[in-house]
Amino acid sequence: MLPIVSIVGRPNVGKSTLFNKIMQQRLAIVEDTPGVTRDRLYGRTDWNGVPFMLVDTGGLVWDDDPLAQAVARQAEIAIDESDVTIFLTDAKTGLTGEDHDVAAMLRRSQKQVVLAVNKVDDFSCSHQLLAEFYELGLGEPIPISAANGLNIGDLLDAVVAHLPALTEHEEDDSISVAIIGRPNVGKSSLFNRLVGQERSVVSDIPGTTRDAIDTRIVHAGVLYTFIDTAGLRKKSRIGSGIEYYSMLRSIRAVERSDIAIIVLDGREGLTEQDKRIAGIAHEAGKASILLVNKWDIVEKDSDTMAKYQKELRQGLQFMDYANIEFVSALTGARCARLFPLILATMEEYQRRIGTGLLNDLLNDAVLANPPSAKGRKVKIYYITQAAIKPPRFVLFVNAPELLHFSWLRYLENRLREAFGFAGTPINFIIRKRGK
């Protein structure tokens, strides 16, 4: 599960500028995923090989204005959710009463805090500028200039030093399955159907489930952890406070799962928000099942299911590996298919292929369709599998920058034809190597 780092402070200290600067310094490989829109208020990033989720928050002001109070509640929830909080202050305006109020809130939280002083333009005079910020009692302040990108590395070094060790799974002896989707598509009904008990509230009111709920069950001798989550609304419909951080908890639930079941409403067809939600699972590298719910009340003919599958494949081209199933969580129709499908998907998610077989396939693929680049020859020396969950392959080539995405897509298709990998993304790492 990815740790969370939040940025808090009073208004106009440069929180969003710092957020954007850190996200631009992402060291992890980012896949180009057409059709997937990222929310600008949070993002997955990486510093010196340590991944985490970064969260921006609104400016904190303590007065009687209802909006200011809502923002303050949102920040308090952000701090509660975070493993480390960056407390951002402003060197130009100096220490203020609002800074003291934020510091008091952070001390009450008993969470790890890194104090940063922004808008320091002359680092030779930083000691004088920083002296008053020691009054906050939150340790040594770190001078930065978010706008100019100065000393951001030192700040991130301090943040990463406080982060807990990354754990991919809370329970490594179970198959962890997150159930995600828009509000009112039937996630909680599906959750209750799968776990066989009324653990979460089932309601026609969107947003009933606000916290991720975990339930472990044994089915046919296999241990599962099912995670019910809050419905993910469009950004424009997410209110401050609980609604926003329900979404953040849902994203965290995906991060700590093996498989994401993306629940769709069979009556409404694929929506743009469905695509965004599917993109969360895809970008997190999770195996996925597209589950079309409420199939019992969809008007059907002999071609309806095939047409629906075609629509999903066209609308979710970045996730064409995902398995598709049609069910009614309310009546239980076709739900018995899910446990075998989850098992099969998990098997593909952790499939490992020997290096000899991989290089035989690579040689055949290169002979049939050699990678090309204008003016230079692209030479691929060999391939090996570096990891599972998801399957990750390392290609050693003479010029990584010349290996086009379309050829990698071709190689991915050859791998799937030969070895399966249904339901799971496949990742490639390209490394340079001489003869």
Q: 58 and 38, same structural domain? A: yes
Q: How far apart are alpha carbons 337 and 326 in whole angstroms? A: 9
Whether the CA torsion 326, 206, 211, 195 is positive or negative: it is negative
Q: Would you list the DSSP string of 81-147?
A: H-SEEEEEEETTT---HHHHHHHHHHHHHT-EEEEEEE----GGGHHHHHGGGGGG-SS--EE-BTT
Per-residue pLDDT at 407 exceeds 80: yes
Please write the tens of the pLDDT for every residue from 119-171. Answer: 998 777 667 778 899 999 999 999 999 999 999 999 999 999 999 876 544 44
Residue 121 to residues 136, 148, 159, Cα–Cα distance (Å): 22, 9, 22
Who has greater pLDDT, 130 or 229? 130
> Does residue 221 sit within a domain?
yes
Q: What does the longest C-alpha to C-alpha distance in the chain come to?
A: 77
Q: 196 and 293, same structural domain? A: yes
Q: 205 and 80, same structural domain? A: no
| Residue 412 structure tokens | 């991915």
> Does residue 170 sit within a domain?
no
Domain count, the chain: 3
Please write the tens of the pLDDT for every residue from 167-199. Answer: 544 445 789 999 998 888 998 899 889 888 554
Residue type for 409, please?
R
Range of 368's domain? Answer: 355-432
> Does residue 378 sit within a domain?
yes
Q: 207 and 152, same structural domain? A: no
Q: 67 and 208, same structural domain? A: no
User: In 220-351, where do the E strands start and end?
Assistant: 222-228, 259-265, 287-293, 323-326
> Does residue 188 sit within a domain?
yes
Q: 277 and 311, same structural domain? A: yes
- Which range among 54-63, 284-293, 300-309, 313-322 shows the weakest confidence by mean pLDDT? 54-63
Q: How far apart are alpha carbons 281 and 209 in whole angstroms? A: 19
In sequence order, what are the residues at sequence separation of 6 or more whose Cβ sits closer than 8 angstroms to the Cβ of residue 125?
Answer: none
Within its chain, how far is the Cα of 216 from the centroid?
23
CATH number for position 286: 3.40.50.300
Who has greater pLDDT, 220 or 210? 220
CATH number for position 378: 3.30.300.20
> Does residue 168 sit within a domain?
no
Q: 377 and 343, same structural domain? A: no
Per-residue pLDDT at 96 exceeds 60: yes
Residue 93 to residues 101, 150, 272, 373, Cα–Cα distance (Å): 16, 19, 43, 54
Residue at a domain's end among 162, 197, 219: 162
Q: 28 and 157, same structural domain? A: yes
Residue type for 339, please?
F
> Does residue 169 sit within a domain?
no
Q: 363 and 276, same structural domain? A: no
> Does residue 87 sit within a domain?
yes
- The DSSP bridge partners found for residue 418 are none
Whether the CA torsion 261, 266, 267, 268 is positive or negative: it is positive
Residue at a domain's end among 349, 368, 388: 349
> Does residue 422 sit within a domain?
yes
Please write the tens of the pLDDT for every residue from 2-48. Answer: 788 999 988 889 888 898 889 875 433 333 333 332 333 677 788 98
Residue type for 248, please?
L
Section 92-118 average pLDDT = 92
Q: How far apart are alpha carbons 27 and 48 in whole angstroms? A: 7
Residue at a domain's end among 110, 135, 162: 162
| Tokens 């600067």, located at residue | 21
Q: 217 and 201, same structural domain? A: yes
Q: 320 and 238, same structural domain? A: yes
Q: 345 and 360, same structural domain? A: no
Mean pLDDT of the chain: 83
